[in-house]
Amino acid sequence: NSEDVRCKCICPPYKDHSGHIYNKNVSQKDCDCLHVVEPMPVPGPDVEAYCLRCECKYEERSSVTIKVSDVILLA
């Protein structure tokens, strides 16, 4: 299920841009700032410096397991 995977990039403040969290459904190999951060908040020359500050993590979850756990807890 495509909703069970995502890449989450946490980007701290940079120059006059505030910090931001970006989420996108991408493959694990594409889990980086260049593929996830859209639109890029900085102009071309600052992209590399901005992306080096971002921390990106690939996350997987099982929504079926979560739903079953919820049913058991509510029963």
Kindly tell me if the per-residue pLDDT of 3 is higher than 90.
Answer: no
pTM of the model: 0.74
What proportion of the chain, given as a percentage, has pLDDT over 90? 72
53 within 8 A of 18, measured Cβ to Cβ:
no
Mean pLDDT rounded to a whole number for the chain: 89
13-37 pLDDT, tens per residue?
Answer: 999 999 999 999 999 999 999 999 9
Kindly provide the residue ranges of all beta strands, DSSP E only, lying in 1-75, ordered along the sequence.
5-11, 20-24, 55-60
Stretch 45-53: mean pLDDT, rounded? Answer: 96
Kindly tell me if the per-residue pLDDT of 72 is higher than 90.
Answer: no
Q: Which tokens sit at 52?
A: 């080096």
